[in-house]
Amino acid sequence: MQRNARIFVAGHRGLVGGAITRRLQAEGYDNLLLAGRDSLDLRDRDSVEAFFTQHKPEYVFLAAAKVGGIHANNTYPADFLFQNLQIQNNVIDAAYRHGATKLTFLGSSCIYPKLAPQPLKEEYLLTGPLEPTNEWYAIAKIAGIKLCQAYRRQYGFNAISLMPTNLYGPGDNFDLNNSHVLPALIRKFHEAKLRGDAEVVMWGTGTPRREFLHVDDLADAVVQLTRTYEGEDIVNIGVGEDISIRELTELVKDITGYPGAIVSDTSKPDGTPRKLMDVSRLHALGWQARIGLREGIEQTYRWFLEHQADVRG
């Protein structure tokens, strides 16, 4: 991947796309094709076709998606399935037809069955029922994986699929209704501290375990594997360690300096009991995460404090 290659980062204003863009820029890639929703609607086939006709990207990072937490997935199942299918189908097909050298598709750990053995190995895909609270998003992502594999098999298109674990970091969505758990906790504790609240409510029992990867680590892995990985098989991107939601809540409380109590709202869903990625394949390919969880949350909290006026949510 030459430094002057035409590189399209789809979703460059989002958490993942933003991190990939920062990483590429830091490494001297200076011919990035960046288009926001105001000029390129990835859900619209004609809009995508016009973009690829004009710019002919050589490398495509497909990081654009409609994303959200349990509440958002439960509330907007049709949007999560249909819009993600539209985005994926349009971009993957256009990249192939317009001669892109390579496409990197970003999936999600939610593609794996709800009760799959832990840690989650890549071969567990499609071996059991999905977690009901996010199956719509998961089915769309599975379809994206299979489309990449199908285009590789039928047309020889060089498309790879990478499956990140739960992500967090600069540029995250801090909306309390549709964000993921870690940014929601950061905002909850920060605002509770400012208001002097006696307690903060934690959704669910706190017993589910989750793995968290800093988005800058993800971007490093994505760029490295785009350069070096040529396989059809999916690759998990994670740290290989997890933490309970209760432990995470206590950690965020400590980092934000909130002095009050934590109470559980067990009427809220827990989601999948555990979601730990097996990263043996990733390590064999020569990459390991470097940013520790406490260090990463501290950095993300500093970013949140510096960008409160314009954070999403």
pLDDT exceeds 90 at position 62: yes
pLDDT tens-digit series, residues 275-303: 899 999 999 999 999 999 999 999 999 99
Instruction: Tell me what pLDDT residue 313 has.
Output: 58
Instruction: Tell me what pLDDT residue 75 has.
Output: 87
Rounded to an integer, the average pLDDT of 169-178 is 85
* Domain boundaries 7-171+211-241+274-291, CATH class: alpha beta
Instruction: Tell me what pLDDT residue 38 has.
Output: 81
Residue 15 labelled as part of a binding site: yes
Domain positions in the chain: 7-171+211-241+274-291
pLDDT tens-digit series, residues 98-150: 999 999 999 999 999 988 999 999 999 999 999 888 899 999 999 999 999 99
* Entry pTM: 0.92
Residue 185 labelled as part of a binding site: no
Catalogue the active-site residues: 137
pLDDT exceeds 80 at position 271: no
Q: Reduced to 3 states, what is the DSSP secondary structure of residue 143?
A: helix
What b/e readout covers 257-288, taking b as 16+ CB neighbours within 10 angstroms? ebeeebebeeeebebbebbbbbbebbeeeebe
Residue 274 labelled as part of a binding site: no
Residue 164 labelled as part of a binding site: yes
